Amino acid sequence: MTTRFVVWPAGRSKWTSILGVVLSTATVFGPIRVVLSQTPEYIISELVNAGQVPRRLNNLGDLAGSGPVGGQTRATIWNHGTLKAQHLGALPGGEYSSAFAINDAGQVAGASNIHNAIVPFIRKQVGGLQRIPLLPGDKCGQAFGINKNGHVAGYSSGPNGAKAFLWVPGTGIRNLASLPGGNYSRARAVNDSDEVVGTSGSSAGDRAVLWTKTGNIRDLGTLPGDTSSEAIAINNPGDVVGCSKGPGGMRAFLWNPVIGMQDLGVLPGRNVSRALDINDLGYVVGSSSISSSDHAFIWTKQTGMTDLNSAASAGLGLVFVEARAINKAGKILVMGNNTHLLNADGDMALPEHDDCAPAPPITFLLTPTP
């Protein structure tokens, strides 16, 4: 299948975009086409403002994350129509906030400080940030997932450690159990059926877990030979993705009740992988790496793991290092770098004696063409 990479930063024309991205070439090229087996065409939209860190993506294409405001970090959303940043403020008494999830209704979940503690919040379409209560006796926590009903998953922490929770408006906060022998748990995501995934301590080590809608906890296990695992995302059919770790390194996994835990492998030349999101079609995205470089991937049942980088993106001076989120339309939120600033080892190249920190990764939205 032909692949087309069109670089198109928000608010700019196509031709201005290509001029801005192909930094080291004197000639401006039109859309670049290469043949990559079973890989779709993508339009690449760049989020150009420095310091912006989108983390999640809803099915409309809205983004949630954080961005700088007056030297401070604020929870931020980007509307799919304009991709312009809208800062959400912080809870009273706070200087910091960050968004970690957004649903299709535009409701956002995240965390904000209040004086000397970080606490979870929900932000509805109308009104400011609303603090989510913590479990009794706890002082801090964060919210990482939100479903279509505005139910929020995260963790609450205090003298007895971190405990996963599910918060339901009008009902309150529910303490999600840890595995036997475990003294902590953290929830990372929740689907529309109130199934929650995350990590729990256990007598055998950290385990990826699924909490059912009735609150029962299920140990998802590890890949063969591994010692720990972590669940990061769940879709509405109940498929779970994350990573399993052991002496051989870290591998991305896909779990469902029928097949159990499946190793998704690594990209060619890489030895580590981590799955970060899955959509309702079962498409998985994440990152696969070696010690010196990371590459973003997409995995499907039909094609297996595929590198989101190509000769076309390389020709534009781009390398995609981590795919953070994918929605039902196949849009992918990725982090990337300008390869003209990389050295032979794939690290950011700085002038000799330069005391400045490397430039942060750039965020891109990959949109499949019809």
Range of the domain at 304: 2-368
Number of Cβ atoms within 10 Å of the Cβ of 60: 17
pLDDT in tens, 35-90: 333 557 888 888 766 788 999 999 999 999 999 999 999 999 999 988 889 999 99
Whether 123 has a pLDDT exceeding 90, the answer reads yes
**What is the structure's pLDDT at 45?**
85
Whether 24 has a pLDDT exceeding 90, the answer reads no
Asked if 56 contacts 65 with a C-beta cutoff of 8 angstroms, the reply is yes
**What is the structure's pLDDT at 358?**
46
More confident site: 291 or 176: 176
Q: How confident is the model at residue 291 (pLDDT cuts 50, 70, 90)?
A: confident
As a whole-number percent, the residues of the chain with pLDDT over 90 amount to 71
Sheet (strand 63-69) strand order:
53-57, 63-69, 72-78, 85-87
Separation between Cα atoms, residue 211 and residue 17, nearest integer Å: 45
Domain tally, the chain: 1
Separation between Cα atoms, residue 322 and residue 74, nearest integer Å: 22
- pTM for the model stands at 0.87
pLDDT in tens, 203-223: 999 999 999 999 899 999 999
pLDDT in tens, 262-272: 999 999 999 99
**What is the structure's pLDDT at 73?**
95
Whether 12 has a pLDDT exceeding 80, the answer reads no
What number is the average pLDDT over the span 312-339? 92
What number is the average pLDDT over the span 325-345? 80
Whether 114 has a pLDDT exceeding 80, the answer reads yes
**What is the structure's pLDDT at 53?**
93
Q: What is the average pLDDT score of the chain?
A: 85
pLDDT in tens, 299-319: 999 999 999 998 888 888 899
Q: How confident is the model at residue 290 (pLDDT cuts 50, 70, 90)?
A: confident
Whether 14 has a pLDDT exceeding 60, the answer reads no
Token look-up 């994440």 returns 286
**What is the structure's pLDDT at 48?**
64
Looking at the chain, how many residues does it have? 370
pLDDT in tens, 148-161: 999 999 999 999 99
- CATH number for the domain including 14? 2.130.10.150
**What is the structure's pLDDT at 360?**
59
Among 36-45, 61-70, 232-241, 251-260, the range scoring the smallest mean pLDDT is: 36-45
